Amino acid sequence: MDVTLGGFQTSELTTAQVEALESYLAPLADSVRALVDATIRSTLDEKGTRLAKARIDEATALLRGSQLPGPAGVHVNAEGRSWHWGNAAAGLRNALAPPMLLEFDQAGRVSSELDLGAAYEGPPGHLHGGVAALVLDHLMGVTASAGKVPAVTGTLTLRYRRATALGRIRVEGWVDRYEGYKTYVVGRIADSDGVTVEAEGVFVRPRWARDPSIPSSPTPSHLEEP
Amino acid sequence: MDVTLGGFQTSELTTAQVEALESYLAPLADSVRALVDATIRSTLDEKGTRLAKARIDEATALLRGSQLPGPAGVHVNAEGRSWHWGNAAAGLRNALAPPMLLEFDQAGRVSSELDLGAAYEGPPGHLHGGVAALVLDHLMGVTASAGKVPAVTGTLTLRYRRATALGRIRVEGWVDRYEGYKTYVVGRIADSDGVTVEAEGVFVRPRWARDPSIPSSPTPSHLEEP
Please report the pLDDT score of residue A148 as a whole number: 64
Please report the pLDDT score of residue A222 as a whole number: 35
Please report the pLDDT score of residue A213 as a whole number: 54
Please report the pLDDT score of residue A176 as a whole number: 94
Please report the pLDDT score of residue B152 as a whole number: 82
Contacts of residue A155, defined as CB under 8 A and 6 or more positions apart, other chains included, come to: A201, A202, B157, B158, B159, B160
Distance CA A125, CA B44 (A): 38
Is this model's pTM higher than 0.95 or not?
Answer: no
pLDDT digits (tens, 9 = 90+) for B104-120: 999 889 999 999 999 99
Residue A152 has pLDDT above 60, yes or no: yes
Please report the pLDDT score of residue A206 as a whole number: 77
Residue B200 has pLDDT above 50, yes or no: yes
Contacts of residue B106, defined as CB under 8 A and 6 or more positions apart, other chains included, come to: none
The reply to whether residue B72 touches residue A24, judged by beta carbons under 8 angstroms, is no
pLDDT digits (tens, 9 = 90+) for B130-162: 999 999 999 999 999 875 677 888 999 999 999
Q: Is A209 on the interface with B (CB under 8 A)?
A: no
Task: Tell me B220's DSSP state.
Answer: P
Q: Is B64 on the interface with A (CB under 8 A)?
A: yes
Chain B nearest-CA residue for A24: B46
- Could you give the 3-state DSSP secondary structure of residue A155? strand
Using only C-alpha atoms, what is the Rg of chain A?
19
Residue A9 has pLDDT above 80, yes or no: no
pLDDT digits (tens, 9 = 90+) for B117-130: 999 999 999 999 99
Please report the pLDDT score of residue B8 as a whole number: 64
Res. B214 pLDDT band, cuts 50 70 90: very low
Cβ atoms of A136 and B159 within 8 Å: the answer is no
Average predicted confidence (pLDDT) for chain A: 89
Task: Tell me B67's DSSP state.
Answer: B
Q: Is B181 on the interface with A (CB under 8 A)?
A: no
Range B78-82 average pLDDT: 90
Range B19-42 average pLDDT: 97
- Percentage of residues in chain B having pLDDT higher than 70: 86
pLDDT digits (tens, 9 = 90+) for B9-24: 666 899 999 999 999 9
Residue B29 has pLDDT above 90, yes or no: yes
Residue B180 has pLDDT above 80, yes or no: yes
The reply to whether residue B28 touches residue A52, judged by beta carbons under 8 angstroms, is yes
Q: Is A76 on the interface with B (CB under 8 A)?
A: no
- Name the nearest CA neighbour of A163 among A204, A103, A120, A203: A120
**C-alpha dihedral, A139 to A142 to A143 to A147, nearest 10°:** -150
Lowest mean pLDDT among A29-43, A112-126, B34-48, B68-82: B68-82
Mutate which of A19, A153, A166, A207 to test chain B, going by most B C-beta atoms within 10 A? A153
The reply to whether residue A121 touches residue B40, judged by beta carbons under 8 angstroms, is no
**Is the pLDDT higher at B9 or at A22?**
A22
Cβ atoms of A196 and B153 within 8 Å: the answer is no
Residue B3 has pLDDT above 80, yes or no: no
pLDDT digits (tens, 9 = 90+) for A58-80: 999 999 999 999 999 999 899 98
pLDDT digits (tens, 9 = 90+) for A87-143: 999 999 999 999 899 999 998 899 999 999 999 999 999 999 999 999 999 999 999
- Name the nearest CA neighbour of B187 among B107, B133, B117: B133
Distance CA B44, CA A172 (A): 36
The reply to whether residue A52 touches residue B32, judged by beta carbons under 8 angstroms, is no
- A14-19, long-range: CB < 8 A, 24+ apart: A14/A77, A14/A79, A15/A77, A15/A79, A15/A81, A18/A77, A18/A81, A18/A83
